[in-house]
């Protein structure tokens, strides 16, 4: 009984749970994978058996076609299931459509793997739902006391002050739909044009009954009209290839400072927790042991010195 120090271990394929013989968001093909959400640094193709939420399976099938996985078994949030002797429940992570935190219970101990998560409001996905756990395995992408994300509504309203056409770079999955919805709600005079690689994901969200607001497919002729206040939503690769778009203001929607074009045209909208929201999450989950992945766990170690035991499991990102 008690917390197993080897409940989750890191090997070459990724994070492995020997008690259930499965991986969490494995980086290489494995026999059994639990996938927290469909972003491609978490959801890789080619696994034999995948456990995830229904939207995550749909997005993986859209992106990877036949290679998505041999077999998908999907569960909604709060539905309890078992892999070997580990009892598993998905809880909404508030990150993108279908994103889940994975609660694993074994011999009376609860282990919670967050995947990516956020606390900020986002009407394009279910809000985060907390649950208590003895052990928290959390992403620490922005675990730095200086990283405090601004209010996304105030950020998006800045677009109203720009009279030129705007090109916004955003990740095609999750961020693009959130930005589309925010602009529709808070910048009613703007018209949104969507890059063709983002369209299939927009349509998938709509098919899942998510209101992502108004948009139309990109059309070069429309964008040439500089008096119409168009916003062209493009994925990162396209954004990078248009360094000098004429009569167009470029902005990149991200929590990362180094991805902002300049101070004037910044758009700090993040789908990850900032420092305050990580602390709030720890307060809600009440773990006695924390493992950190993706980022710098050492700031948390410093903050909770002598209070909560914090181990850095992976700082690869």
Nearer to Zn ion, 118 or 190 (CB): 118
Our finding on whether 25 is near Zn ion (CB under 5 A) is no
Residue 116 CB, nearest approach to Zn ion (Å): 4
Residue 222 CB, nearest approach to Zn ion (Å): 31
* Opening angle at CA 291, ends 152 and 124, nearest 5: 25
Beta bridge pairs of residue 101: 91
Comparing C-alpha atoms, which of 64, 125, 68, 63 is closest to residue 93?
A: 125
Stretch that binds Zn ion, among 32-40, 184-192, 195-203, 247-255 (CB under 5 A): 32-40
Edge-first strand order for the sheet with 309-314 is: 80-83, 86-92, 100-106, 109-113, 135-140, 289-295, 309-314
Nearer to Zn ion, 116 or 155 (CB): 116
Our finding on whether 39 is near Zn ion (CB under 5 A) is yes
Nearer to Zn ion, 106 or 117 (CB): 117
DSSP states of 94-149:
SSSTT-EEEEEEETTEEEEE--S---S--TTSPPP-----SEEEEEETT-STT--P
Both tokens assigned to 289: 């042991």
Residue 228 CB, nearest approach to Zn ion (Å): 33
Nearer to Zn ion, 116 or 277 (CB): 116
CA distance 291 to 62: 32
Residues from 106 through 135 that contact Zn ion (CB under 5 A)? 116
Residue 40 CB, nearest approach to Zn ion (Å): 9
Nearer to Zn ion, 39 or 195 (CB): 39
Both tokens assigned to 30: 């494995």
Residue 139 CB, nearest approach to Zn ion (Å): 7
Binding site for Zn ion (CB under 5 A): 39, 41, 116
């Amino acid at each position: 009984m008690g917390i197993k120090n080897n409940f989750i271990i890191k090997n070459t394929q990724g994070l492995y749970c020997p008690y259930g013989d499965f991986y969490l968001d494995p980086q290489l093909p494995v026999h059994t994978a639990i996938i927290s959400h469909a972003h491609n640094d978490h959801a890789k193709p080619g696994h034999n058996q995948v456990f995830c939420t229904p939207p995550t399976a749909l997005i993986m099938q859209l992106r990877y076609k036949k290679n998505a996985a041999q077999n998908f078994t999907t569960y909604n949030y709060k539905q309890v299931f078992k892999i070997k002797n580990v009892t598993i429940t998905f809880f909404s992570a508030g990150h993108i459509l279908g994103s889940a935190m994975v609660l694993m219970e074994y011999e009376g101990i609860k282990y919670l793997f967050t995947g990516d998560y956020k606390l900020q409001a986002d009407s394009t996905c279910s809000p985060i739902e907390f649950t208590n756990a003895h052990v928290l395995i959390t992403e620490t992408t922005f675990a730095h006391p200086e990283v405090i994300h601004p209010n996304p509504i105030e950020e998006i309203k800045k677009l109203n002050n720009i009279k030129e056409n705007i090109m916004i770079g955003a990740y095609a999955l999750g961020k693009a739909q959130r930005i589309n919805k925010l602009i529709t709600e808070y910048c009613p005079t703007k018209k949104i044009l969507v890059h063709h690689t983002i369209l299939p994901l927009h349509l998938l969200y709509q098919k899942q009954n998510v209101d992502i607001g108004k948009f139309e497919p990109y059309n070069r002729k429309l964008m040439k009209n500089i008096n119409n206040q168009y916003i062209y939503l493009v994925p990162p690769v396209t954004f990078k290839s248009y360094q000098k778009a004429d009569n167009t203001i470029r902005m990149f929607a991200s929590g990362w400072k180094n991805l902002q074009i300049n101070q004037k045209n910044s758009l700090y909208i993040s789908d990850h927790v900032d420092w305050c929201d990580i602390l709030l999450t720890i307060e809600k989950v009440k773990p006695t042991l924390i493992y950190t992945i993706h980022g710098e766990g050492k700031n948390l170690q410093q903050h909770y010195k002598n209070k909560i035991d914090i181990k850095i499991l992976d700082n690869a990102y």
